[in-house]
Structure 1
Amino acid sequence: MKIRGRSSSKEDKIELQMTPMIDIVFQLLVFFIMTFNVVAQEGDFNIRMPAVGAPQDQLEEIEKQTLKVRMRANDAGDLIELKLNEAVLSGGGNPFANLHSKILSKVQDAGGPDEAANLLEVEFECDYDLKYNNVIEAITAVSGSRSRDSDKIQRLIENIKFAPPKKKAGS
């Protein structure tokens, strides 16, 4: 069906300009490549599974040493005491730095981070009212650190578990 008053000619044909679109795609690609930041992978857990078809008597059970970290809070939820195996670390200075140095010495005594992954585990026992940022700081102190000069992550203990939180007697 032809509309009156219009003639079909080659001048009415609309062409799609591909060059500007390709330019925009390349600009976006360059932008995202230049602004991409590599982040350390989170949630990467090492799980030791038995070999397929291996009999149970061939699997040796490694007895893990459990390091207990006790964190007590006041009524406002602030950290008032930090203990590692009954040794108080919240005396002077930063208690999380003290915890990190103690854990680092335990890992070195165990033979390094690779051996410590098989031999050491940490159990956190926290008060019910403790603020989460204190728990995160303690997990960071135990699990590893980033070296300042090479920006490389040094892993310490990866096996972490939590005891049920304790409510205060008066609550």
Structure 2
Amino acid sequence: MEDDPMPPDPSTASGARLDPRGAVVVGLDRSDEARRGLLFAADLAVALGVELVVVHAFGLVGTFGDWREGVEERERQVTTALVDDWCAPLAERPDLTWSWRCVQGTPVDGILRAADETGAGLIVVGSHGEGRSSSPVMGSTSHDIVRLSHRPVVVVPPPADHPHRHGEPSGVDATG
């Protein structure tokens, strides 16, 4: 007889139950909404007593880094920005255990893959990222993660004065 009296979870591919004590995975790009998600995810990871895993995915088309010097140089630029700039607030948190991953591919695939690889208890994303979206609810990445994930997903909304709250498009200009 098993120690776990809970029946299998039919919502997962393997039927294995999700472990709410797993890491918190958060997607991060240069957007203000992603930064809000990062800060919320850090507080949540501390409250739950679990590791925070920060994920940034970059693909063949991106708004950050220089392709002219090759893929390796662009990956170095993105990794440096992720660790030194975007994750800087985490370095000031002695109460937080965290790690980062910079992965090639789409944000949706990268975040979901990291969640699977770490056995994440949940995923946190900002409502909108660098893309241009006029949806006041959420952008395509957060929408697809909610749609495709078999884990709980927390979508952190933009602040009350943000253009998305009024249905206005926003995002980082694709030209840089």
Which structure is higher in RCO with an 8 Å CA cutoff and minimum separation 6? Answer: 2
TM-score (norm 2): 0.31
Structure number with larger C-alpha Rg: 1
